């Protein structure tokens, strides 16, 4: 027990030192040692509170009184005294108390975030000054959609067939909103061309379908970024093949080996098209209006389309019966390639299908998922973007089909 208490004491001192070092640099109300002792005092108070009920309340009052007295004394000398250091001391005291519970990782994470917030004063102030009223309102709307609305929605299907899940549908809308929001930030930092291009790779890792929806709306609003938007969608779609291959590798190595050539080939061919597009757009520095970071309509369109496809897939599977493996792969792929990958790999692992049938099912799922993205481009985006994307998608799929059939 003594060793455990000593470990907590040392850790609390280290946490206090981390925050105190930043304050020491600017000769604030409290420095390195003050923060170290405050954190240690919080840890010891929480430890003694296990034996003496109410000790934590008394300690909180004591630390509050000491901080207030120091603040008042310094203010009396007409020195500029802010509340930031005072609040940091209070947080450090409770971080010490959290250390007593053995929450080392959580405590360290919060301490790092607090130190970052303190050290980033200049950057945060500059960011706040550049933030427009509309951007602030959009951020609040985004938080309402994610933090307020999402948790209160039913998490179970509400229709007789068990297909329509309000939580999942709104979660998809939030995913598109997230891509749109992050895309807006990246575009504003890097510029419209480089920003959209950088978002393509990230979208492929997270959700190429959601990125396609968000970027289609962005291109419809701003036709000048047509080629940059096409680049982002194609890069995300090409990255999707690699992500699916990695998921297959984690679930079933044999199936992943069967599809490595075709999926890697489609990713590489798509990447080659992206290189050509990038050479065409890299020197374009057009001034483009950023619009709103809260694009609710494309998010809702995507969620509704996904729900419709889910219903079509459900009833089609009922009708198709045993033809179902390939038909189901095509239909499920319309909604989500990961569903096809995981379900097919599971069936193969249980010995219910052959590896040839499994590889064909996954490939068909990738084809239908690509068709879904093209449908989203046509529904949410523009005809010009559809033509640009459609031709590229066709070439990628034909190349992949050739590899799949020949090897």
In this prediction, residue 264 carries a pLDDT of 94
In this prediction, residue 304 carries a pLDDT of 77
In this prediction, residue 145 carries a pLDDT of 84
In this prediction, residue 272 carries a pLDDT of 94
Q: Is 19 helix (H, G, I), strand (E, B) or coil?
A: helix
**How many other CB atoms are found less than 10 A from the CB of residue 82?**
11
Per DSSP (E only), the strands in 283-332 are none
Task: Check: pTM over 0.75? Answer yes or no.
Answer: no
State the Cα–Cα distance between residues 119 and 25, nearest whole angstrom.
Answer: 10
Would you state the structure tokens that stand for residue 3, as one six-digit string?
């060793």
Per DSSP (E only), the strands in 60-197 are none
CA angle 28, 30, 31 (to 5 degrees): 85
In this prediction, residue 396 carries a pLDDT of 94
Per DSSP (E only), the strands in 246-327 are none
**Which residues contact residue 74 at a Cβ distance below 8 angstroms, ignoring those fewer than 6 apart?**
29, 81
In this prediction, residue 390 carries a pLDDT of 92
Would you state the structure tokens that stand for residue 108, as one six-digit string?
């360290």
Would you state the structure tokens that stand for residue 299, as one six-digit string?
């998010």
Would you state the structure tokens that stand for residue 222, as one six-digit string?
């701003």
In this prediction, residue 288 carries a pLDDT of 44
Q: Which residue, among 92, 122, 299, has the nearest Cα to 207 in the 3D structure?
A: 299
In this prediction, residue 312 carries a pLDDT of 66
In this prediction, residue 79 carries a pLDDT of 60
In this prediction, residue 353 carries a pLDDT of 76
**Which residues contact residue 356 at a Cβ distance below 8 angstroms, ignoring those fewer than 6 apart?**
258
**How many other CB atoms are found less than 10 A from the CB of residue 401?**
14
H helix and E strand count, the chain: 18, 0
State the Cα–Cα distance between residues 116 and 105, nearest whole angstrom.
Answer: 16
Q: Tell me if 364 sits within 8 A of 329, measured CB to CB.
A: yes
List helix spans (H) across 26-54. Answer: 32-49
Would you state the structure tokens that stand for residue 22, as one six-digit string?
């930043």
C-alpha of 300 from chain center: 18
Q: Tell me if 16 sits within 8 A of 92, measured CB to CB.
A: yes
State the Cα–Cα distance between residues 23 and 366, nearest whole angstrom.
Answer: 54
Q: Tell me if 195 sits within 8 A of 329, measured CB to CB.
A: no
pLDDT in tens, the chain (407 residues): 445 888 888 999 999 898 888 877 766 666 788 888 888 888 888 888 887 777 787 888 888 787 777 777 766 666 666 677 788 888 888 898 888 888 888 899 899 988 888 887 777 677 677 777 777 787 788 888 888 888 898 888 888 877 788 887 788 778 767 766 776 776 666 665 666 666 777 666 667 887 888 788 888 888 887 888 888 899 989 988 988 898 888 888 999 999 999 999 999 999 999 998 888 877 665 444 445 556 677 677 767 766 776 676 566 656 665 466 677 777 777 767 877 787 778 778 777 678 888 899 899 989 998 998 998 899 888 999 999 899 999 999 999 999 999 87
């Amino acid at each position: 027990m003594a060793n455990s208490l000593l470990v907590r004491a040392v850790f609390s001192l280290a946490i206090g030192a981390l925050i105190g070092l930043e304050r020491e640099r600017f000769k604030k109300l409290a420095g390195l040692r003050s923060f170290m002792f405050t954190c240690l005092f919080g840890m010891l108070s929480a430890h003694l509170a296990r034996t003496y009920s109410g000790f934590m309340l008394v300690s909180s009052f004591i630390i509050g009184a000491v901080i207030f007295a120091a603040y008042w004394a310094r203010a009396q000398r007409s020195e500029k005294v802010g509340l930031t250091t005072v609040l940091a001391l209070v947080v450090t005291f409770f971080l010490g108390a959290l250390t007593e519970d053995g929450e080392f990782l959580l405590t360290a994470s919060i301490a790092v975030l607090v130190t970052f917030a303190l050290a980033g004063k200049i950057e945060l102030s500059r960011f706040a000054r550049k933030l427009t009223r509309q951007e602030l309102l959009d951020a609040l709307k985004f938080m309402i959609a994610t933090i307020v609305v999402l948790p209160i929605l039913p998490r179970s299907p509400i229709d007789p067939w068990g297909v329509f899940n309000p939580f999942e549908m709104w979660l998809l809308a939030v995913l598109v909103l997230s891509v749109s929001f992050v895309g807006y930030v990246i575009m504003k930092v890097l510029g419209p061309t480089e920003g959209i291009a950088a978002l393509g790779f990230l979208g492929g890792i997270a959700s190429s379908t959601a990125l396609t929806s968000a970027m289609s709306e962005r291109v419809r609003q701003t036709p000048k970024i047509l080629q940059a938007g096409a680049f982002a969608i194609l890069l995300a779609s090409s990255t999707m093949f690699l992500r699916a291959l990695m998921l297959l590798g984690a679930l079933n190595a044999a199936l992943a080996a069967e599809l490595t050539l075709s999926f890697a080939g489609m990713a590489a061919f798509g990447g080659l098209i992206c290189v050509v597009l990038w050479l065409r757009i890299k020197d374009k520095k057009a001034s483009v209006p950023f619009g709103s970071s809260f694009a609710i309509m494309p998010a809702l369109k995507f969620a509704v389309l996904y729900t419709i496809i889910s219903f079509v897939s459900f009833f089609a599977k009922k009708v198709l019966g045993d033809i179902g493996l390939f038909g189901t792969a095509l239909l499920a792929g319309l909604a989500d390639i990961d569903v096809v990958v995981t379900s097919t790999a599971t069936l193969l692992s249980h010995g219910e299908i052959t590896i040839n049938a499994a590889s064909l099912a996954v490939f068909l799922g990738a084809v239908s998922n690509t068709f879904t993205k093209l449908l989203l481009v046509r529904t949410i985006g523009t005809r010009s973007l559809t033509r640009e994307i459609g031709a590229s998608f066709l070439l990628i799929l034909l190349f992949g089909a050739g590899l799949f059939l020949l090897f």
